Amino acid sequence: MEVSTLTTEFERCRPALKSYLLRITANKQDAEDIVQETWIRAERSLENFKGDSSVKTWLFAIAQNIARDHLRSLKRWPEDVGDIFREAGMKDPDFMREAMAIRHTSPQGQFEIREHIAFCFTCVSRSLPLEQQLALMLKEVYEFTAKEIATIMETNEAMVKYYLHTGRGKMIDVFDRRCALINKEGVCHQCTELNGIFNPKQNAQEEAVKIQMVRDAAKKDKEHLFDLRMVVMKELDPFTSAAAELQLHHLEFDRKVMEQHPTQA
Amino acid sequence: MKALLTTLTLMAMTTTFAQVPKASTTRTTFHRETSVSTTIKADEAIIWALLTNASDYPRWNSTVTSIQGNIALGEKIVLKSTLDAKRSFKLKVKEFEPTKRLVWGDGKGRRTYLLKSNGDGTVTFTMHERIGGLMFPMYARYIPPFDESFDRFAADLKKESELIQGNTR
């Protein structure tokens, strides 16, 4: 492969690679740094690329390799991480002041419930064991096959199937218990609460039912609702969406909260 | 025709029964040994992953309430079983040969899990436990039979492994 072809392919993959790295590291700076390092290593090892996989799979494998040790050193987050963020945000006047400033001045400062659904999944999926989180993101959001994921994660297809089965099952269970958008008994109303704060003139319930997952909640098909949650994830790029700056501000705050949280000691 | 139908019915029943794990126990004065074996249509890596992910056990295994600790060579684990809900079993992982052999135990007993690939996409899973020692006759009557629990363990493992193997999502 010529360098010019690699450049073209890299630029084509860059948005997906960058959003994947943000979603697994929860760190904008880390995501951007790993994307740059991926390019450097890919160009340096271009002659090693034999075409056994697609360029996209190869680039994701390089990025995963760079991120792996760092990710393993990080503690996993608890599944009720949203409650921790809520409490921390309410205690910190600077957080809400900054968020409001972004909301009113930034072209990427909108608040939308579906953006928060994607943000929420990024955070809650960190409660899974690392391998399950990575496999689930690669399959359900970035649409790699089990074989490609095995290449990226340097494991075998059987293990990928195990990670996907267990990870998906756990996420379905967590959201079924917690998410009030799909379960009236759900304990987490954070997206509609925030919609009330950032969009006070809107009716949060009216906004919520614009989302297919919320409309289909009455069918109580948990697998289907999870698939629809993944559709929301696929539709949004956390760096370019209309809510990107607001959500990145949230994510940066939340990551710092978790770095200081007792569960991470 | 009737004879043929009877034969086919019997063959179907035999096949079905053959797929249900059935434990057996042997006793001597100083030991008791229980074994169960079943054929699982799944990759041994999947079965191994299920056997070695401690926190995941309660999700798929109806005989285990919890396992704390890391199932790896030399590690100590604490197992709670439905067999005796009030007790916690403090065990040590004594052998750990990925996708082939796992052994844990304490001073009184030793449980062995064996996986053997049959070369046709199936794996023979065997679980064996030997308990006993010189003092065994004194406490033997307080230890409940393992057979039913072993049957359920093997059946659960077979069901979950085959579900994951067949999951093509």
DSSP A46-82: GGG--SSS-HHHHHHHHHHHHHHHHHHHSPPPPTTHH
Residue A175 and residue A181: Cα distance in Å, rounded?
9
Tell me the residue range of the domain where B48 lies. 21-166
pLDDT tens string A226-246? 999 999 999 999 999 999 999
Closest CA to A53 of A158, A152, A138, A135: A152
pLDDT tens string A186-231? 999 999 999 999 999 888 888 888 899 999 998 889 999 999 999 9
Q: What is the ipTM of this complex?
A: 0.74
Q: Same domain for A31 and A110?
A: no
B129 min Cα distance to partner chain A (Å): 27
Counted domains in chain A: 2
Spatial contact of B70 and B78, defined as CB atoms under 8 Å apart: no
Q: Same domain for A64 and A174?
A: no
Residue A166 and residue A99: Cα distance in Å, rounded?
36
Chain A contact set for B71 (CB, 8 A): none
Amino acid present at A242: A
B7 part of a folded domain:
no
**Structural domain ending residue among the three candidates A54, A74, A94:** A74
A43 min Cα distance to partner chain B (Å): 34
Closest CA to A250 of A18, A5, A26: A26
The CATH number covering residue B71 comes to 3.30.530.20
Would you call A161 and B167 a contact, using CB atoms and an 8 Å cutoff?
yes
B25 min Cα distance to partner chain A (Å): 32
Enclosing H/E stretch for A229: helix A222-235
How many other CB atoms are there within 10 angstroms of residue A109's CB atom?
A: 20
Tell me the residue range of the domain where A10 lies. 1-74
Closest CA to B89 of B67, B57, B61, B116: B67
Pick from A158, A165, A169: which is nearest to B45 by CB? A158
pTM attached to this predicted model: 0.85
Would you call B163 and A165 a contact, using CB atoms and an 8 Å cutoff?
yes
B16 part of a folded domain:
no
**Structural domain ending residue among the three candidates A74, A96, A113:** A74
DSSP state, residue A188? B
Q: Same domain for A1 and A91?
A: no
Looking at chain A, how many residues does it have? 265
Spatial contact of A72 and A80, defined as CB atoms under 8 Å apart: no
Chain B contact set for A169 (CB, 8 A): 59
pLDDT tens string A76-123? 999 998 899 988 988 898 999 999 999 999 999 999 999 999 999 999
Q: Is residue B143 less than 8 Å (CB to CB) from chain A? A: no
